[in-house]
Amino acid sequence: MTNTLKYICLLLLMFAQCSLQAQRLEDLSQEELLAQLDKLIAQKMDYRDRYIAVIDSMKRSAMQQTAEARAQTYLNIYHAYSNIQTDSAMVYLAKIENLPIFDTDDNLKTHVLIGRAEIYGVMGLYTSAQNTIQEIDIQQYNDSIRLFYYQVCRKLYGWMSDYGEVYDKKIHYRDLTQLCRDSILAIQQPSINRNIVEADRALTIGDVAMAKTLCVQSIPKADELQRAYIYVIMSGIAHAEQNTSEEIRYLSMTAINDFKRGVTEYSALPKLAILLSKVGQEDRAYEYLVCTMSDAVYCKARLRTLEASKIFPIIEQNHKNRVHDRFLFAIVAISVIAVFLIVLGVMLMMSRRKNRQLAEMHVQLDSAIAAQRNVNEALSSANKALQQANHVKNTYIARYLERCRSYIDSMEKNRKRILKMLKNNQQSELLNQLKSDSTFSDEETLFYTDFDEAFLTLFPDFVTNFNALLVPEAQIITKRDELLNTELRIFALIRLGITDSNRIAHFLNYSLPTIYSYRSRLRNKSKFSKEDFEKMVMEC
């Protein structure tokens, strides 16, 4: 850790009033730590905004400083951004290069080169990072610059070993990582920071007892940033000891520390997600991984995006299995209700065979059941189609299950009302009710509203992007009280991969010629050829 990083530690003290003391974290149970982590994730934007506010104040103060002081402030800003937003970190490295002092200060030039290599590494641009770091003849510089150089090299070669190369190269970069760690120890004076590096080295070579001793000795005197590194090593120790519960605890502490410091480039949370998935907490693991992906995109940390993408299929499969089980339960429940309604219809037909009015009501009831079954089949078909895109499936399965539950409740309510009317010999009223199609119309309206909301949640820019494909006079403007109209729904279904006109007609309850007419008319009004139009719709 460099002197500049110590400056960043001072910034973090501004958030101490909003967080628990680190010692208290160590006294919390696993579930208490996870509950606190859930709360911090929900409030992460508040912590990030406070951190950014501190950086903004540094920016303002820099405008009043001399060139030399401004260069140091810009270095501090770069370090503050380095694990929050990489493109902003790059901007302030570039600002340093534009200062007049840059051309005459070799130490400053070298610091900027090392910093740029670090950011390239976070962004996953390993070749650029390595080329940049190899430009530096580090032996001619003082211990402070050399220490920063070896710290960045140790991280870079570690990343390249873990994520960037084939097996033979992994071994080579693993050896380089160890050499850089040894170089850090050769420079660094006895301190908490040196203990952390020695503990990391001990863990790497398999001396778990030494690593644990160094960490336990260092924790009481460590500051907040140093504790973050110690927690990471302690989680590695727990992993080596096959103590999953303790590994979860220390990864939780690390993640809590990361979020309190506004960090968006981190490794603890995805590791914690996969451990939680293994112990049956798939929902929490899924949320942690989604948070990781979101923060990695914000930071533009391709390294963390790659790491999360490797973990995602494991957690996603567990998550899909749980959703699938719930879906099967709903299908069984619907089937039981449907069988019950059919039996009830047969009983009514047999007991009132000679009553013409009752026979007509039975026919209409059968029709209603058939219509209900068709709706359920349409929902099932939609769910199967949505399985091709996991993020689409997760949204629509939940909404369709809720709609199926509403249909079941509605059918049960109608059954009870029919039984009551039959017992009261209100046959005329029952016949009039069954002849009315208002209930079906209301359900159909709710169904399309639900579809519109779900689709626009997944593709919020669809209407704008779709209109961009049409000539200006043909662009579609929806009414104030509607999300999508019929034309937009047709092409929304195409965007979801449902291109068969028969399926679209069935889904929207229109005739096949009507669907052909809508599709042909809009193809003719597009800015592109008919062959390319629907292909471009798939990209809206």
Q: What is the pLDDT of residues 467-497, one digit of tens each?
A: 999 999 889 988 888 889 999 999 999 988 8
Question: What pLDDT is recorded for position 318?
Answer: 67
* 415 within domain boundaries: yes
Q: Are residues 467 and 534 in the same domain?
A: yes
Domain span at residue 481 reads 459-540
Q: In terms of domains, do 409 and 484 share one?
A: no
**Interatomic CA distance for residues 326 and 321, integer angstroms:** 9
Asked whether residue 463 falls in the same domain as residue 452, the answer is no
Same domain, 447 and 530: no
225 in a structural domain: no
DSSP assignment of 243-299: -HHHHHHHHHHHHHHHHHTT--S-SHHHHHHHHHHHTT-HHHHHHHHHHHHHHHHHH
Both tokens assigned to 123: 């962004």
Same domain, 404 and 362: yes
Distant-in-sequence, close-in-space partners of 527: CB < 8 Å, separation ≥ 6: 469, 470, 471
State the Cα angle at 41 between 36 and 42, rounded to 5°.
100
* pTM, 2 dp: 0.55
pLDDT of residue 18: 41
- What torsion do the CA atoms of 160, 163, 164, 166 make, to the nearest 10 degrees? 110
Q: How many domains would you assign to the chain? A: 2
Both 511 and 423 in one domain: the answer is: no
pLDDT at residue 220 in the model? 86
Q: Does residue 451 sit in the same domain as residue 391?
A: yes
Interaxial angle between packed helices 224-240 and 208-218, expressed in degrees from 0 to 180 and rounded to the nearest 10: 150
* Judgement on whether residues 369 and 445 belong to the same structural domain of the protein: yes
441 is a domain residue: yes
Q: Is residue 504 part of a domain?
A: yes
Q: Do 364 and 448 share a structural domain?
A: yes
For the chain, which ranges sit under pLDDT 70?
Answer: 1-24, 163-168, 302-312, 314-316, 318-319, 322, 358-359, 381-401, 403, 436-440
In a domain, 383, yes or no: yes
In a domain, 265, yes or no: no
Q: Which of 428, 456, 484 is the last residue of a domain?
A: 456
Asked which of 456, 472, 495 is the last residue of a domain, the reply is: 456
Q: What is the CATH number of the domain that holds 471?
A: 1.10.10
The reported pLDDT for the residue numbered 113 is: 94
Domain match, 503 and 448 both: no
Q: Which of 456, 478, 503 is the last residue of a domain?
A: 456
Does residue 434 sit in the same domain as residue 506? Answer: no
Domain for residue 140, yes or no? no
User: Do 378 and 445 share a structural domain?
Assistant: yes
Each as own residue / partner, the long-range contacts of residues 185-189 (CB below 8 Å, 24 or more positions apart, any chain) are 187/143, 187/146, 187/147, 187/150, 188/147
* Within-domain flag for 121: no
